[in-house]
């Protein structure tokens, strides 16, 4: 069985890239097709892709693609349509905003598309940047986005099977693409055995520093109550957040996996204020190390946080709502064993088994 992997682009490290890495562990001989590859943007995780057979589109040759990839998404579908997938039995695409789901394959080839999200900027969801406030966002984007929505819908009809990374994403796929998706949660690296961790006196945020993550709420909470807050992540909101932060807030930037594990192990609370998250792997990672979560009650967080077992929700994206839930949070006891058991439902082994079972089933149906 010849397998190929397809991913929107490799220019940042996040949950989608973790899925691709795990798929490559499952199929180590599979080449990876992607719109463009910018290893310098992957930080400490770029070594994870060493030795891979990576095939890029014509967009990889565009000067300054690292700054232009957002406006050039008008060519995303074309970039993926020009790849040749003849000779492969199974294609697994990993897609979000750049329409890797729109590849063209032979009728006998199985195309499974793992969708991390629909392109939020096309359908009115909160996005990483407030692009509607710019001249381009107000004047040009409405016309471009109409064309992109047409392309996106066309691309969504091409995969034989669609996988959603959460029930939240499954509902968005059904509403937007009129397709039924199977839910397979992303793989989370869970420690093989339970152990307890001594907790230190700090809160933790692990997030891209973008608008929709609302990291400013965690900073305001730390400022208000003089709590020590450690922030892991980088992004375009970083300068603004630095200006907002008081003396008890520490920015750690991007860290390697071992450092992140130690931070999870020591944190007494993970604050997760993301709005309309598609899945949100961070609350599961925190639970695996016995750290409860204070999360905004929206999106995929409703699936990754089990109230009063792995954490607590706050309703509104305001400091007042977060403070109210924080006070309730302080009155609760969270069992590290229960946190670990909850995280185990999302383990890498569960993901691997479900992907392999799906492929075996589809290959069997092709032979009938």
Query: What pLDDT score does 133 carry?
Result: 55
CB neighbour list of residue 180: distance below 8 Å, 6 or more residues apart: 162, 174
For range 283-306, the mean pLDDT: 96
At 53, the pLDDT band (50, 70, 90 cuts) reads very high
More confident residue, 145 or 232: 232
Query: What pLDDT score does 173 carry?
Result: 97
At 144, the pLDDT band (50, 70, 90 cuts) reads confident
Query: What pLDDT score does 259 carry?
Result: 95
At 139, the pLDDT band (50, 70, 90 cuts) reads low
**Mean pLDDT, the chain, integer:** 93
Query: What pLDDT score does 121 carry?
Result: 83
Q: How far is CA 234 from the centre of its chain?
A: 15
Contact between 103 and 85 (Cβ < 8 Å): yes
Got the DSSP string for 221-269? Answer: HHHHHT--EEEE---TTHHHHHHH--TTEEEEES--HHHHHHHHHH-SE
Contact between 24 and 5 (Cβ < 8 Å): yes
Residue-wise pLDDT tens digits, 179-222: 999 999 999 999 999 999 999 999 999 999 999 899 999 999 99
pLDDT at 119 over 50: yes
More confident residue, 364 or 141: 364
Token look-up 């929206």 returns 298
DSSP letter, residue 207 = -
Query: What pLDDT score does 12 carry?
Result: 87
Alpha-carbon separation of residue 7 from 25, 84, 195 (angstroms): 15, 15, 35
- pTM over 0.85? The answer is yes
- For 350: left if phi > 0, alpha if psi spans -120 to 50, otherwise beta; the answer is alpha
For range 62-77, the mean pLDDT: 90
Class in CATH terms, 203-344: alpha beta
Please list the residue range(s) of the chain that carry CATH number 3.40.50.2000: 203-344
Q: How far apart are CA 263 and CA 202, in angstroms?
A: 9
Query: What pLDDT score does 13 carry?
Result: 85
Please report, rounded to a whole number, the percentage of residues in the chain having pLDDT higher than 70: 95
CATH 3.40.50 at 3-187+347-367, yes or no: yes
pLDDT at 148 over 70: yes
At 120, the pLDDT band (50, 70, 90 cuts) reads confident
Query: What pLDDT score does 131 carry?
Result: 47
At 145, the pLDDT band (50, 70, 90 cuts) reads confident
Residue-wise pLDDT tens digits, 94-106: 999 899 999 999 9
Query: What pLDDT score does 276 carry?
Result: 87
Report which listed range, 39-43, 96-100, 279-283, 354-358, is most confident. 354-358
């Amino acid at each position: 069985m010849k397998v190929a992997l397809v991913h929107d682009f490799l220019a940042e490290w996040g949950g989608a890239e973790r899925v691709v890495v795990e798929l490559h562990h499952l199929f180590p001989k599979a080449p990876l097709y992607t719109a463009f590859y910018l290893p310098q943007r992957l930080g400490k995780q770029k070594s994870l892709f060493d030795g891979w057979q990576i095939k890029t589109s014509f967009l990889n040759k565009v000067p300054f693609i690292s700054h232009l990839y957002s406006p050039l998404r008008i060519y995303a579908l074309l970039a993926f349509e020009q790849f040749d997938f003849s000779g492969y039995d199974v294609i697994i695409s990993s897609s979000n905003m750049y329409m890797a789901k729109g590849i063209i394959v032979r009728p006998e080839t199985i195309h499974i598309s793992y969708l991390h999200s629909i392109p939020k900027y096309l359908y009115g969801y909160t996005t990483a940047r407030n692009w509607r406030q710019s001249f381009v966002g107000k004047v040009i984007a409405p016309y471009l986005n109409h064309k992109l929505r047409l392309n996106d819908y066309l691309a969504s009809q091409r995969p034989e099977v669609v996988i959603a990374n959460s029930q939240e994403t499954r509902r968005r796929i059904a509403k937007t693409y009129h397709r039924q998706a199977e839910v397979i949660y992303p793989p989370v690296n869970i420690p093989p055995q339970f152990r307890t961790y001594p907790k230190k006196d700090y809160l933790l945020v692990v997030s891209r520093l973008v608008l929709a993550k609302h990291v400013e709420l965690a900073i305001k909470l730390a400022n208000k109550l003089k709590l020590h807050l450690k922030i892991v992540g980088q992004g375009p909101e970083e300068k603004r957040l630095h200006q907002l932060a008081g003396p008890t807030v520490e920015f750690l930037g991007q860290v390697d996996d071992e450092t992140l594990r130690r931070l999870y192990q020591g944190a007494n609370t993970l604050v997760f204020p993301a709005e309309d998250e598609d899945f949100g792997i961070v609350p599961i990672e925190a639970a695996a190390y016995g750290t409860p979560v204070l999360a905004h009650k929206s999106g995929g967080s409703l699936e990754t946080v089990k109230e009063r077992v792995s954490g607590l929700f706050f309703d509104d994206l305001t400091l007042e709502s977060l403070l109210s839930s924080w006070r309730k949070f302080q009155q609760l006891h969270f069992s590290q064993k229960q946190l670990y058991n909850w995280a185990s439902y999302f383990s890498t082994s569960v993901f691997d088994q479900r992907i392999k079972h799906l492929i075996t089933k589809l290959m069997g149906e092709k032979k009938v």
